[in-house]
Amino acid sequence: MAKRPPRADIRLLILALVAVAAAAFALAEIGLKSAPTPDTGIASAEGEAAIGGPFSLIDQDGKTRTDADFRGSLMLIYFGYTDCPDVCPLALSTMSAAVDSLGDKGKSVVPIFITVDPERDTVEKLKQYAARFNPRFVALTGESAAIEAAAKAYHVYFAKHPEEGGSYSMDHSSVIYLMGRDGQYLAHFGAEASAQDMAQGIAKFL
């Protein structure tokens, strides 16, 4: 590829950033549609269809993990996939920064990543991926039926999106849920939330 003058490179970079931001907003929109109250970012579960429920999945060490394993902790749960180019890395980075910023108080919060692409997201792949963000992440995969059941319980939408060359990406909701020590819904955040807002939202329940 021919060398471009620096100014053109900056323009390209800005265009790329705008494209990423637009994609993030588009996916956040999908997420908000399935969220209980799209306006505040943090909401009470009262009067809404229950969010959450039992799951039985496999973590990045190959161990079976169920929702019951996390009783007594707060679960910060996000569904996505490791090949996601933009929204998932953003959400996981924010979750990581938010739980770390809570210090000792935040040690009872477990950040959980559940793949919606179990076909490609193997235990080994999840192990590498989670480690990139925060060693505290519990990254979960499982049989398609188990993933579908978990996603349904959390009102998470996902679908395969075919790409050229036979590959595919995943369309998916991008809501981050905060679940209580009893496993009940407490609050949710959009993937575009700042780490500071997320930490403040979580701190209310610590």
**Residues 49-108 interacting with Ni ion (rule: CB under 5 A):** 80, 84, 87-88
Q: Considering the complex, what minimum distance in angstroms separates the CB of residue 72 from Ni ion?
A: 29
Nearest to Ni ion of 88, 139 (CB atom): 88
Closest approach, Cβ 169 to Ni ion, in A, equals 8
- Size of interface with Ni ion, in residues (CB under 5 A): 4
Length of the chain as a residue count: 206
**138: contact with Ni ion by CB under 5 A:** no
Give the CB-nearest residue to Ni ion. Answer: 84
Instruction: Give least dist CB 200 to Ni ion, A.
Output: 24
**Between residues 88 and 202, which has the closer beta carbon with respect to Ni ion?**
88
- Quote the distance between the C-alpha of residue 136 and its chain's center: 14
Provide, rounded to whole angstroms, the least separation between the CB of residue 99 and Ni ion: 19
Q: Which structure tokens are listed for 149?
A: 């059941």
Residue with smaller CB distance to Ni ion, 88 or 151: 88
- Taking the C-alpha atoms of residue 112 and residue 148, their distance in angstroms, rounded to an integer, is 16
Distances (CA, A) of 194 to 28, 94, 97, 201: 13, 7, 9, 11
Distances (CA, A) of 64 to 42, 59, 69, 143: 30, 6, 10, 12
108 by DSSP, 3-state: which? helix
Cβ-based nearer residue to Ni ion, 105 or 160: 160
Token couple for 10 = 């900056």
Residue 155 token pair? 């009102």
> Per CB under 5 A, does 156 bind Ni ion?
no
- Binding stretches for Ni ion (CB under 5 A): 80, 84, 87-88
